[in-house]
Structure 1
Amino acid sequence: MRAIYRIARLELSNLFYSPVAWLLLVLFVFMTGMGFADMMEMLARRQELGSRGLYAISRVIFYTPMGGLWSRVSQFLYLLMPLLTMGLISQEFNRGSIKLLFSAPITGRHIVLGKYLGIMLYGLLMMAFLLVYVLIAGCLVESFDWSAVLTGLLGLYFLFGLYAAIGLFMSTLTTYPIVAAIGMFALLTLLNLVSGIWQEFTFVREITYWLSLGGRASTFIKGLICSEDILYFVLMSVMFLCFAILKLQLRRESCSFAGKAARYLGVFLAAVFLGYLTSRPTMKWYHDSTHTKSNTLTQASQDIVAQLDGGLKITTYVNLFGSIHSITTKGINSDIARYERYIRFKPETKLDYVFYYYTDTTTEAFKKRYPEKTLYGAAKDAAKLQGTRLGKYLSPEELAREEALRNIDLSDEGYRFVALIERDNGQKTFLRVYADMNRLPGETEISAALKRIAMKLPQVGFLSDHGARSIVGDKNRDYSYMVAEKMYRKSLLNQGFDVTDVNLKRNPGVLDSLDVLVVAEPLEPFTNEELETLYRYVESGRNLVIAGKPKSYSHLTPLMEYLGLSFEPGILVQQQIDEYPPHLFLCRATEEAQEISRLWKSLYVNTNMGRRPASLVMPGALAIEQKAEKGFRVMPLFQGRDSAAWNELETIDFVNDTARLNPKAGERAGVKTTMVGLEREHAGKQQRIIVLGDADCFSMGELSTTRRGISSANGDLIMSMFDWLSYEELPVDTTRPDPIDNKLNLGMDAGGTLQIVLKWVLPALLLLLGILVLIRRKGK
């Protein structure tokens, strides 16, 4: 140990007597100081000029994935370390001093470990400068996220240690330092790309994925400590140090090529074996050091996973001709990473992937893209285009056998990218991709799918007789998009709700199993028996949604009167907006709406002027009034934006005629309520009822419509409504605590001064110190 310490001290002194080490240190301090100071000055300027304010400052400065200081430092180390380590041992060969080391009473192990310790002490100095930036930020940022930032710094030091071990090994292979540097660049590139090798073979995929250096330090930078990553850096560093020791030892003894190869291979296999064992889910340990626990499942998701006793298997079906989203066999590990947070809490989860090819060869699109091709021929071309082998894909016949074995029908899913989630008890559900910008399901959708097979979910029934809105039809007025559209992320189906069709004539008993009943614009009056059935449902204390339209609201009048409400006659109009007709009614959430549940708050958006309610579009709406007290707490949830709006009774053609307020005809102007919420304690339950003045606001036609200049929150309203009606059980609450490090105690002038000090003064002082040390060394 004493010999290792002496070599380390000598190596460290040699580094500081080398202009290269000083220049690299000055360059490192200049680059990192410039990045940190520029970020601090920019944040100080934003705060002082009164922009939207600062948010999660610790993350912005240090561990934002793309622009944070720690990500930049990891890139600097990739460039600097080959230059720093290229001469650690190669110079000893070049100068001939290696003979003195070999003749001394020390082994190759002493030489390698001593030099490694020396370079690691140099690395501590580099980390010390980074720690200065952390301390400065910690003093200037209120409620600074110390643990997450220091976790990132720890990861950078692990990365430095691995780079040092690799550089040390490469410097034993040649007498030319520049060749060692180039070789290290090549090896680092290989370690970053190795995860893409032989991904179609499960065991090999797991080995190459473990060997990959890419993203290892990023885990620490994001504020997550994982035992697998710690052991990766330790095992890989030890492996390259052992390689270096072997290289020096084999220079001093005679050994055949096979013997040399066997020793290197033995070290490599031992490291890979230990790495494979420690990468098993049951062997991993995690610590999320961020304040908001952004690297961990939310508590709601953890509770769902905890209820999934027994085995769990997720089989992903990938169509070679898939639309919306697809992967190849090379992308399996990237897809598996989406479930990493769930596997952390249920490590026995099994993941499998089934690749197949299927498409309709009779369509014009297929014939145009693959003229005169059979399905097999087109699949060969598609596989070749994606750089994969068709032999890994099931044919339609093989897929049919797979479907029969699993008792599933992928045609119902449109043969799109889909994951089948199965429990040992036979429960199963699909997890889909969506036709939006994000495509892939997030934590909310994954947890909703797991919740569907973990517990009983709220049952929502939609009245279908009397011409009410259908949940399976494809007309613009129908609700199939909101309820069961598999490619729509916010559909009730994808958010975990169980939905059923209700027919009062054929099966009124189904009401007994419902948690929520939706009655949307019946076109025929109810019979007395049917009304009594609906009244009994209300008296049972369960929840209800009523939605009307100006031309047919009279069929809902008995039910409205039973609740103490009424629809105001006429269609609501407001001042015309651009080219849109005046009966395109724009509403906004009330202050009361913000308080009823968490998702109603999302209907308010942040602006430079503070929080304002988002717009709800109602293409033909009724106003709602309270007529009698029925024991409910009545809350207006949405109201018209125009205080001069009125209920138009005379105008029918809004294109060719102009609507004008006529009080004599019974038209009344004012702020009109278009949605109310009713709440009461009844029958041992907290009953909740929503009444809307427009059944079209979440219809299939409205949800698929965009209007220039109007930003609609109708899709968010669906989630807000059913979140409240299900007592916040669905959608799954995946919100996290707000960051608390949102204030920077630094002004613009002070920010400019800090920039000068860190960018110019500190590197200049360090450069001056280096010059003085080198001059003194030369004088001696």
Structure 2
Amino acid sequence: MKTIYKIAKTELQTLFYSPVAWLVIVIFTFQTAMTFTNMFGGLVRNQALGYELVSVTSNVFSNPWGGVFPAIQGYLFLYIPLLTMGLMSREFGSGSIRLLYSSPVTNVQIILGKFLSMMIYGLVLVGIMLIFTLFGAFTIKDFDLPLVLTGLLGVYLLICAYAAVGLFMSSLTSYQVVAAMLTLAMLGALNYVKDMWQDIEFIRDITYWLSISGRAGEFVIGLICSEDLLYFVIVIVLFLTLAIIRLQACRQKSPWFLTLGRYVGVVLLACFLGYLSSRPKLMGYYDVTATKMNTLTPNSQDVISRLEGGLTITSYLNALDEQDIWTASPSQVKTDQVRFKQYVRFKPDIKLKYVYYYDTIQSLSQDQRFPNLNTEQRAREIMRIHGLDSSLFLSPGQIREQIDLSGEKNMFVRLLERENGEKTFLRVFDDMQHHPGESEITAAFKRIAMELPTVGFLVGHGERDIHRTGDREYSGFALEKRFRYALINQGFDILNVRLTDEVPDNIKILVIAEMKEPLTETEEINLERYIARGGNLFITCEPKRSEIMNVLLEKFGVRLVTGTLVQLSENFSPDLIVAQPSQEAAKLNYYFDGMKQNNRCLVMSGAAGLEYDRNNEYNVIPLFISDSLSWNEVETTNFVDERPVLSVSVGEMQKSYATVLALSREINNKEQKIMILGDADCISNGELSMHRRGISASNYTVIMGGFYWMSDNEVPIDVRRPTPPDNVIYLNEAKIGTWQVLMTWILPGILLMISIFIWIRRRGR
């Protein structure tokens, strides 16, 4: 060990007497300071402007768009080759390697001594980053120190890995410039190897594991994974061993084929160990963050714990589905599997399968681009252009023998299937996020793990249809498979219900959407039985249906106010009501509270106000209320050509009206919950897809919040995390300007002067 230390000490003396080492330190300090102060200063300015800060520690150090650690990873590979290029090539070029060979020093000691010097130099770079860490610890409220220390560990391991690669490359040549170029080439290969041969299943796992790209990423966000930790250990040992073999070959003049065999053997052993370390059952995790932001929420963990036995997730990819052709194509399998990594962490026996096929889809674009080609010809042309192996894709007949995907319109979809036969689909969505999040994935798992609430939609009286896609229908919030917030994608089962028979026992929520015809006597009896047993109800109304709907609403002490609510506006129709969540709504659940906090509203076009008895058996909460300047317009019916005028003489009254009510009571040892909306169009297909300039509408949140409340907070899945406590910076914009000058210019300047002093002093000697 003393010999290794002496070699390291000698190498460090040589390194720090050279301008390169000091230049790297100065530039590294300057770039780190620039990145840190830019991000930190931006947050200080946002705080001064009154914006609420969230996760300050993570934003400063881990943010992929400007955080310190991601930025450092982006330019480290440029520095290390400059430092390692002379480690061994200098010995070969000057002939001093012969002195080492003739001395009682082993090859292992030479390589480990050289590498130890780089490890110490790496600690110097980490020490510079530690300066900014300490600054953050003293200026950020509840600074998340474990997160930053884990990031420092990841960056340090990356430096060591780069150094090991550079040391081996330096042992291959006597020219330092060539050694630097070889190091850059190898680092480039290690970065891009994960994209090579990914369509070959046997090689896929090996090449993906070999890639160094993003290996420190999980450390940076505060997650320690055994796979990444072992990766750095294995890669470092691999290249150090290769360097030792290289010295041994030069020292003993070994035959080339023997040396090559040793190289291959060491590489194969490293790949085998790496393959083992990447097996889910052998992987361990530790989330160091204060809010466990890299770990599934407790609700998701609970659902996964209930999934006993085997579970397979099969992804079905249609070659004609060009929107998702790269989501799970053979070359993207490993990338796609990362989307389920958190779930595999808690259930390592999850199997991920991929099935490729081609079948007809509805695509106007393809009809225009390939007008004369049939389904098979289009598929083969698309596969040819994208370089996909057509032999991997099943024909329409072959895929239909396995599964019927016509209900999914042959679009990309995943099938979750348990050993006991329980199965459900997990979809992608037509929004910017596209892929399902934790809420949707957990909801799908929960569907096959336990019985979830079933929502019944009353039919037979002209109600809104959940199977039609017209603007006024309800398929969007109920059954639209590509709409993220549809009930079917949030864990609910959906059924049509007729009141000619008793409501099935599995129906937990009954939706009555603007009846156009009254109930028959038998239907009244069956509805009364459902209400008497404590069944929950979701009722939507329209002003023009007040005569029919009031008969139903009177059962709960509620009635529609005569007329249509209007609210005069310069830009919109008078009957467009912008209803705000009430304080009581914010207390009911976090969905409505979020609307209140973020100034989101419920837009209702053609709504009726809701009145209710104060002393009935139900506890009534006005969830959404109109502006105090709104009134119930009785006379005007054409809001396009006529401008309504308040007329008190005909019963019009200007005030705030409740437009959505929540009712509850205790019955049969449970809480019965009822929601009533004064507008049936506000959650229709047309309104959910509507955007109005200047209005921050969030109508879909009313669906989510309402059904979350009526399902007793069971679904949609609550995947909220604790609010990060590091939300205040103890600096103002004037002080951060001073610190920016000190860190960006003064600190690197001091280091530059020290380096010049040492260089001049050495030249004088």
> In the alignment, is the contact (CA less than 8 A) between 1:65 and 1:222 conserved in 2?
no
| 583-592 or 338-347, larger mean C-alpha shift | 583-592
Q: Is the 8 A contact 2:84 2:170 kept in 1?
A: yes
Query: 487, 492, 507: which is aligned to 1:492?
Result: 487
User: What does residue range 249-268 of structure 1 map to in structure 2 within 5 Å?
Assistant: 249-268=248-267
Contact 2:143/2:726, CA 8 A, preserved across alignment? yes
**2:408 matched residue in structure 1:** 413
Task: Verify the 8 A CA contact 1:325 1:439 in the aligned structure 2.
Answer: no
Letter in 1 for 2:694: G
Q: Give the corresponding residue for 1:542.
A: 535
CA contact (8 A) 1:194 1:212 kept: yes
Question: Secondary structure, in 3 states, of the residue corresponding to 2:420?
Answer: coil
More off after superposition, 473-482 vs 237-246: 473-482
Q: Equivalent residues in 2 for 1:561-710 (5 A)?
A: 561-578=554-571, 580-606=572-598, 612=599, 614-627=600-613, 629-641=615-627, 643-710=628-695
Post-superposition Cα deviations, 1:586-631, rounded to whole Å, max 9, x if no partner, equal 211111100001211122243xxxxx3x221111111111135222
Taking the aligned partners of 1:156 and 1:681, their CA distance within structure 2 comes to 58
Correspondence for 2:509 among 497, 512, 516: 516
Q: Does 2:475 align with 1:480?
A: yes
| 4+ aligned runs moved over 6 Å, structure 1 | none
For the residue of structure 2 that corresponds to 1:33, the secondary structure is helix
Which residue of structure 1 lines up, in the alignment, with residue 448 of structure 2? 453
Q: 1:219 to 1:472 in 2, by over 3 A?
A: same
Query: Structure 1 residue 368: deviation in Å?
Result: 3.0
Contact residue 325 and residue 433 of structure 1 kept, 8 A? no
Q: Distance in 1 between matches of 2:474 and 2:435?
A: 24
Q: Provide the residue aligned with 1:196 in structure 2.
A: 195
Which is worse superposed, 84-93 or 385-394?
Answer: 385-394
1:292-441 alignment runs, 5 A limit: 292-327=291-326, 328-359=329-360, 365-403=365-403, 409-441=404-436
Structure 2 equivalent of residue 16 of structure 1: 16
Q: Within 2, Cα distance between the matches of 1:460 and 1:523?
A: 21
C-alpha displacement of 1:181: 0.7
In the other structure, the counterpart of 1:70 is 69
Mapped to 2, the partners of 1:293 and 1:541 lie a distance apart of: 39
The Cα shift of 1:704 comes to: 2.8
State whether residues 39 and 66 of structure 2, in contact with CA within 8 Å, keep that contact through their aligned partners in structure 1.
no
Q: Which residue of 2 aligns with 1:557?
A: 550
Shift of 1:57: 1.0
**Which letter does structure 2 place at the counterpart of 1:186?**
A
Alpha-carbon distance in structure 1 between the residues aligned to 2:301 and 2:394: 35
Number of the residue aligned with 1:58: 57
Tell me the equivalent position of 2:207: 208
Count of aligned pairs? 763
With over 3 angstroms needed to count, the CA separation of the structure-2 counterparts of 1:64 and 1:241, relative to structure 1, is same
Are the aligned partners of 2:581 and 2:625 in contact in 1 as well (CA < 8 Å)?
yes
CA distance in 1, matches of 2:165, 2:78: 13
Q: 5+ residue gaps in structure 1?
A: 404-408, 607-611
Task: Give the aligned partner of residue 149 of structure 1.
Answer: 148
How far did 1:388 drift? 2.1
Q: Residue deviations 1:501-540, cap 9 Å, x none?
A: 11012x3242x32111111211111223322322222221
Q: Is the 8 Å Cα contact of residues 660 and 677 (structure 2) preserved in structure 1?
A: yes
Q: Distance in 1 between matches of 2:753 and 2:32?
A: 18
Question: Over residues 184-221 of structure 1, what are the superposed CA-to-partner deviations in whole Å (9 max), with x where a residue is unaligned?
Answer: 11111111111111112223111111001111011111
2:466–2:479 Cα contact (<8 Å) kept: yes
Unmatched segments (≥5 aa) in structure 2 = none
Q: Deviations over 1:333-376 (max 9, x none)?
A: 11111000000000000001111122259x76544312433433
Change (3 A) 1:658 1:371: closer
Give the equivalent residue in structure 2 for 1:530: 523
Q: Deviations over 1:250-278 (max 9, x none)?
A: 00113222211110011001111111111
> Is residue 241 from structure 1 mapped to residue 208 from structure 2 by the alignment?
no
1:426 Cα offset (Å): 0.5
Task: Sort the Cα spacing of 1:154 and 1:728 in 2 relative to 1 into closer, same or farther, 3 A.
Answer: same
1:765 to 746, 750, 754: 750
Aligned 8 A contact 2:320 2:378 in 1: no
Check 1:376–1:262 CA distance in 2 against 1; reply closer, same or farther (3 A cut): same
Match of 1:754 in 2: 739
- The offset of 1:644, in angstroms, is 2.0
Amino acid at match of 1:444: S
The one-letter amino acid paired with 2:496 is D
Is the 8 Å Cα contact of residues 324 and 433 (structure 1) preserved in structure 2? no
Distance 1:504 1:740 in 2: 52
CA offsets, 1:686-744, max 9 Å, x none? 11111111111111222233334333211111111101111111111111111111111
- Return the alpha-carbon distance in structure 2 between the equivalents of residues 42 and 562 of structure 1: 57
Q: Are residues 364 and 216 of structure 1, via their aligned partners in 2, closer, same or farther at CA, if it must alter by over 3 Å?
A: closer
Partner in structure 2 of residue 40 of structure 1: 40
Check the 8 A contact 2:320/2:359 in 1, yes or no: yes
- Which SS does the other structure have where 2:544 is aligned? coil
* TM-score in terms of structure 1 length: 0.96
One-letter amino acid of the counterpart of residue 28, structure 2: F
Moved more, 627-636 or 39-48: 39-48
Q: How big is each residue's C-alpha offset from its partner over 1:293-319, in whole Å with a ceiling of 9 and x where there is no partner?
A: 121111111111000000000010111
8 A contact 2:499–2:527 mirrored in 1: no
| 3-state SS, counterpart of residue 312 of structure 2 | strand
Write out per-residue CA displacement over residues 418-453 of structure 1, whole angstroms, 9 at most, x where no aligned residue. Answer: 001100000111101111111111111111110100
8 A Cα contact 1:636 1:673, kept in partner: yes
Relative to the length of structure 2, the TM-score reads 0.97
How far, CA to CA, are the matches of 1:69 and 1:360 in structure 2?
46
Secondary structure at the residue paired with 1:518? Answer: strand
Amino acid at match of 2:376: Y
Cα 1:509–1:76 change in 2 (3 A) is: closer
What SS does the aligned partner of 1:519 have? strand
Q: CA RMSD in A?
A: 1.6
CA distance in 2, matches of 1:400, 1:689: 43
Q: Distance in 1 between matches of 2:720 and 2:163?
A: 41
SS for the counterpart of 2:489 is coil
Q: Which amino acid is 1:392 matched to? A: L
- 1:655 corresponds to which letter in structure 2? V
SS in 2 for 1:216: coil
The share of aligned pairs that are identical, in percent, is 44
Distance between the aligned counterparts of 2:527 and 2:360, measured in 1? 47
Structure 1 residue 765 displacement after superposition: 1.4
Counterpart of 1:734 in structure 2 is 719
Q: Is the 8 A contact 1:320 1:357 kept in 2?
A: yes
Deviation at 1:680, TM superposition (A): 1.9
Tell me the secondary structure at the aligned position of residue 728 of structure 1: coil
| Aligned match of 1:406 | none
Q: Provide Cα deviations, 1:538-559, integer angstroms capped at 9, x if missing partner.
A: 2212211122111112212232
The residue identity in structure 2 corresponding to 1:161 is: C
Q: CA deviation at 1:459?
A: 1.2
* More moved, 467-476 vs 595-604: 467-476
Contact 1:324/1:434, CA 8 A, preserved across alignment: no
Residues of 2 paired with 1:148 and 1:347: CA distance? 26
Matched residues in 1 for 2:521 and 2:752: separation? 93
Answer yes or no: is the 8 Å Cα contact 1:696–1:702 preserved in 2: yes
Partners of 1:605 and 1:321 in 2: CA distance? 43
Letter aligned with residue 651 of structure 2? G
> In structure 2, how many angstroms separate the alpha carbons of the residues matched to 1:711 and 1:52?
18
Q: Please give the residue correspondences for 1:122-141 in structure 2 after superposition, counting only pairs within 5 Å.
A: 122-141=121-140
